[in-house]
Structure 1
Amino acid sequence: MKKSAILISALFFVGLTPAFAEDGARLFQRKGCTTCHGVGGAKPITAQYPSLAGQNAEYIVEQLNSFKDGHRTGINAQQMVQFAKSISKDGAENQTAVASYLAAQAFVGGNNVDADLVEKGKAAFTEKGCTSCHGEGANAPIMPAYPKLAGLSPQYVINQLNAFRDGSRKGTPNADAMAPMATTLAPEEVAAVANYLGSLSR
């Protein structure tokens, strides 16, 4: 366990170097990731997909592993399995390269949000204790394996919260933690929180 932790830490240290990020850029392009997530992971082709630019590298690696191993279920999980396996087939360092590259990319906003719901969503996000894990402004998670939620499209957030609520997204520690939290949100609060997050910058 100790050796494994040291290896992961070493990979992330290497992953911060420009050369490693360049490898990640080539992999992201060559594996076809831009087809859905856009150049640099910044402009998904649909609001159903997440923006990956500026996301925490450790979170991305954890999700790639969860897809690869078939642990993460839910919306678009089946589509991601083969992509995650393809990225990882030549070694775990490829995951770290892609994740480090994406973490270094500039976030591009432009979500369509309902302005009437933004303040309600901000209040619900605070009242439900979401900041205790995801931080103020949903952009400073307390752990690197937690995602930055700021700037995700409202539709993506709604889909994921509903998947946590109905149990269709499961199989990972994050999902297990999110399921009971998501069920505390009423349907109208789900929409409000999603629009609040979509209004933020990463």
Structure 2
Amino acid sequence: MKKLIAGVVLGVGLSMTAHGAGDPEAGETQAAACAACHGQAGTAPVMGVYPKLAGLGETYFYNQLVAIRDGDREIPEMTGQLDGKSDEDLRDLAAYFNQQEMPLGQANPELADQGEALYRGGNLASGVPACAACHNPQGKGNEPAGYPHLGGQSAEYVAKTLNDYRDASRGGYKSQIMVDIASRLTDEEIEAVASYISGLH
């Protein structure tokens, strides 16, 4: 079974990278409009519930952009923002943002131990796997498999995302994996792991 899962992950990763890398210079010319909500170079969103776009991972971010453009992932604030963008345009945007560095946040010291335990070890009793298994022990993600870089992302955004997965209101690329995991998380666990991730590096 483990070999089957590993084969599926590897196959998905290879199929995603087969599309070819985008042109970050071309992406930079398109990225100016993104700064209004996500900050310069995607590093400082104007609201905590908006994601940092810097360094998410090119494969992951490209697939998210496609899902948003094609209506598979609905974000009211993004309505119309990607209309008319070609696949190549989206690859270029993903390449540009992937070259930017994700700035670190600051984890709440009171939640750090609980958040770290969940991130690194999961919760055996409730069947929650360790976040580190897919997103890397330092939160750097897994580019070939299309799992995003998490370390440094704002706690507010991570918590919102986990809640959206938990109530199955977030769709799109690989969403079912996270819907299943988040459905097992408590409010306290979401708060703790989101805080831990914001300072993870």
Report the CA distance between 1:81 and its aligned residue.
3.4
Residue 21, structure 1, aligned to residue 15, structure 2: no
Report the CA distance between 1:130 and its aligned residue.
1.6
Kept in 2, the 8 Å contact 1:11–1:93? The answer is no
Q: Distance in 2 between matches of 1:142 and 1:100?
A: 12
Kept in 2, the 8 Å contact 1:27–1:98? The answer is yes
Q: Distance in 1 between matches of 2:25 and 2:145?
A: 22
Report the CA distance between 1:200 and its aligned residue.
1.6
Q: TM-score, normalised by structure 2?
A: 0.83
Residue 82, structure 1, aligned to residue 80, structure 2: yes
Q: Distance in 2 between matches of 1:136 and 1:122?
A: 10
Q: How many residues align?
A: 181
Match of 1:54 in 2: 55
Structure 2: gaps spanning 5 or more residues: 1-13, 123-129
Q: Distance in 2 between matches of 1:148 and 1:6?
A: 19
> In the superposition, relative to structure 1, how do residues 183 and 21 fare at CA in structure 2: closer, same or farther (>3 Å)?
same
Kept in 2, the 8 Å contact 1:41–1:53? The answer is yes
Report the CA distance between 1:162 and its aligned residue.
0.6
CA RMSD between the two structures: 2.0
2:81 aligned partner, one-letter code: F
Q: Percent identity?
A: 30
Match of 1:194 in 2: 194
Match of 1:108 in 2: 103
Report the CA distance between 1:143 and its aligned residue.
3.8
Q: Is the partner of 2:161 in helix, strand or coil?
A: helix
Q: TM-score, normalised by structure 1?
A: 0.82
Per-residue Cα deviation, 1:80-118 (whole angstroms, up to 9, x for no partner): 2311224x1xx2111111110100112222x35311101
Match of 2:89 in 1: 94
> In the superposition, relative to structure 1, how do residues 112 and 47 fare at CA in structure 2: closer, same or farther (>3 Å)?
farther
> In the superposition, relative to structure 1, how do residues 8 and 181 fare at CA in structure 2: closer, same or farther (>3 Å)?
closer
> In the superposition, relative to structure 1, how do residues 6 and 50 fare at CA in structure 2: closer, same or farther (>3 Å)?
closer
Report the CA distance between 1:161 and its aligned residue.
0.4
Q: Is the partner of 1:116 in helix, strand or coil?
A: helix
2:101 aligned partner, one-letter code: A
Kept in 1, the 8 Å contact 2:141–2:149? The answer is yes
Q: Is the partner of 2:100 in helix, strand or coil?
A: coil
> In the superposition, relative to structure 1, how do residues 200 and 6 fare at CA in structure 2: closer, same or farther (>3 Å)?
closer
Match of 2:170 in 1: 169
Match of 2:111 in 1: 117
Report the CA distance between 1:6 and its aligned residue.
8.3
Q: Distance in 1 between matches of 2:93 and 2:166?
A: 30
* 1:24-39 pair list within 5 angstroms: 24-29=27-32, 32-39=33-40
Per-residue Cα deviation, 1:40-96 (whole angstroms, up to 9, x for no partner): 1111111111111111011111011111111113xxx1222311224x1xx211111
> In the superposition, relative to structure 1, how do residues 62 and 142 fare at CA in structure 2: closer, same or farther (>3 Å)?
closer
2:120 aligned partner, one-letter code: T
Q: Is the partner of 2:18 in helix, strand or coil?
A: helix
Report the CA distance between 1:141 and its aligned residue.
2.2
Kept in 1, the 8 Å contact 2:135–2:150? The answer is yes
> In the superposition, relative to structure 1, how do residues 197 and 8 fare at CA in structure 2: closer, same or farther (>3 Å)?
closer
Q: Distance in 1 between matches of 2:137 and 2:103?
A: 20
